[in-house]
Structure 1
Amino acid sequence: MPYDFKGKVCLITGAGSGIGRATALKIASLGATLSIQDINHDSVSETHRMIGENTYSEQSDISSSEACPKFVENTIKALGRLDFVFNCAGINPTGIDLTDTTDEYFDKLVATNLKGTFAITRAAIPHLKPGSSIVNVSSIMGVSVASRMSVYCMTKFGINGFTKSMALELGPKGIRINAVAPGYIDTPTNAGVVAGGDAVKKQEEKSGMGRMGTAAEIADVVAFLFSDEARYMNGSVVEITGGRT
């Protein structure tokens, strides 16, 4: 076991599938107790079942400013402490010309990808002690750009700026915050996976390794960032892309 998280409590949003679920399973396997959330009740319940009984889970919507502090409060009530936060919940993009982008689409992405991360982090900070760590999910689209992805890129570039600013704010308190920027990952919500066929092939061809990444490969990096092995990493945005071109 590379890291020992026994006695630690990790809160994960968007834990019902994909990177969130894989990270929940990884962190639990390293000894931590989990508090998990997802907007889909059945999905988060299944993740809870996979982890085991010593877990707190709830169905909620992190785009709600009321739901975020309630989730953190419920975590403290159920588990007594908080050490790690993984802000994973988010909405993947749909390619849309800006002139065709509705206010509803803009509001949905900003509320979940940006406001949710902000609200969970704000609620968690008073409960975090020196040695605690936060990891946010950005994207390769928060580092590079693509046409017809302007709103999604806006939210993910925003996550990177938020992470770097909070690193300066929380670092003196002994709390680290970093972000991971995944490339094309084989998850149920990846637009290429949903489309299948040539869409998957195109994503694979854009990776230097000739394949999509797995959710478990992202989870491994998140575990490292939580660990003392990454004790001087603060404000970093770690690209996990297989060498995306």
Structure 2
Amino acid sequence: MTGLSGKVVLLTGAGSGIGRATAIKLHGLGATLAITDVSQEGISQTLELCGGKHYAQTLDVSKQQDVENRVAEIVASLGRIDHVFNCAGINPTAFPLTDVSEEYYDKLMAVNLKGVFSVTKATMPHVTTSRGSYVNVSSILGVRAGAEYAIYCATKWGVIGFSKAMALELGPKGVRVNVVAPGYITTPTNAGVAKGTDDAIKEMERANSLGRMGTPEEIAAVVAFLMGDEAKYMNGSVVEVDGMMK
């Protein structure tokens, strides 16, 4: 990938999983990183894996004032923001809709959807000036439905609708907005992986035409591509990275 060396990239949810793998990938391509996550321990570990010389602070994307303050601090520290990777999110728990609590609904909406809105709004003046890009994380459940995942689906379908609208709004200003939609990925927050049982993992593998789960590094490679010069005519795209679910 070309065009990322020296660019400043803000990553949310970079304390583990896809966010961490993407930070490591972009570090290797010469980008300057603003590593954020709700977990102090997580960002400290990611920072160490990226050479220890990037900006790294906690950020709760569900709190708009926290987002605005952190973005201002990043710009003051690093001078600008060229690209944004909206990766912070909460993975789903299967619930019949009648068992979904208001607290669960509010939490998923606040992080998975409002978080993307808040970070995008706060960074727009800077990314527009840089004529950079956004890559937002949806899910394969953002393009197809899943029984007992109604609220999660709503947030991830919402990310795609929001991203496509922003692509239309920001495209004339030279800013691209694209989406990556991962399938089953071996991350610590994947519910099946977290169960730690062979049955859960084998069930996810059987549901995939390639017979395996994806890795965070495979998603990171797509994110880096979408930010790079090779993807400069991609805007409003949704890239499904799921190995082809059955």
TM-score range (shorter-chain normalised) is over 0.9
For residues 39-59 of structure 1, the C-alpha deviation after alignment (integer angstroms, 9 at most, x for no partner) is 111111110111123211111
Paired AA for residue 139 in structure 2: S
Distance in 1 of aligned mates of 2:141 and 2:70 = 28
Distance in 1 of aligned mates of 2:130 and 2:83 = 11
Alignment of 1:88-127 (within 5 A): 88-127=87-126
Distance in 1 of aligned mates of 2:76 and 2:54 = 12
Does residue 161 (structure 1) correspond to residue 126 (structure 2)? The answer is: no
Q: Let me know the Cα RMSD of the aligned residues.
A: 0.9
Does residue 240 (structure 1) correspond to residue 241 (structure 2)? The answer is: yes
Paired AA for residue 136 in structure 2: N
For residues 136-189 of structure 1, the C-alpha deviation after alignment (integer angstroms, 9 at most, x for no partner) is 000000001111000000000000000000000000000000000000000000
Paired AA for residue 236 in structure 1: S
Shift of 1:3: 2.2
Q: Contact (CA 8 Å) 1:130, 1:173: kept in 2 or not?
A: no
Secondary structure, in 3 states, of the residue corresponding to 1:75? helix
Paired AA for residue 50 in structure 1: L
Partner of 2:146: 146
Secondary structure, in 3 states, of the residue corresponding to 2:64? coil
Secondary structure, in 3 states, of the residue corresponding to 1:210? coil
Paired AA for residue 136 in structure 1: N
Does residue 173 (structure 1) correspond to residue 186 (structure 2)? The answer is: no
Structure 1 length-normalised TM: 0.98
Alignment of 1:175-190 (within 5 A): 175-190=175-190
Partner of 2:222: 221
Q: Contact (CA 8 Å) 1:85, 1:134: kept in 2 or not?
A: yes
Paired AA for residue 84 in structure 1: H
For residues 42-98 of structure 1, the C-alpha deviation after alignment (integer angstroms, 9 at most, x for no partner) is 111110111123211111211111111112111101110110100000000000111
Structure 1 segments unaligned to the other structure (5+ residues)? none
- Residues matched between the structures, number: 244
Paired AA for residue 141 in structure 1: L
Moved over 6 A (4+): none
Partner of 2:13: 14
Q: Contact (CA 8 Å) 2:4, 2:227: kept in 1 or not?
A: no
Structure 2 segments unaligned to the other structure (5+ residues)? none
Distance in 1 of aligned mates of 2:215 and 2:101 = 32
Q: Contact (CA 8 Å) 1:183, 1:239: kept in 2 or not?
A: yes
Partner of 2:198: 197
Amino-acid identity (%): 55
For residues 92-148 of structure 1, the C-alpha deviation after alignment (integer angstroms, 9 at most, x for no partner) is 000011111100000000000001100000000001135301000000000011110
Q: Contact (CA 8 Å) 2:136, 2:180: kept in 1 or not?
A: yes
Structure 2 length-normalised TM: 0.97
Shift of 1:4: 4.3
Distance in 2 of aligned mates of 1:74 and 1:19 = 24
Partner of 1:211: 212
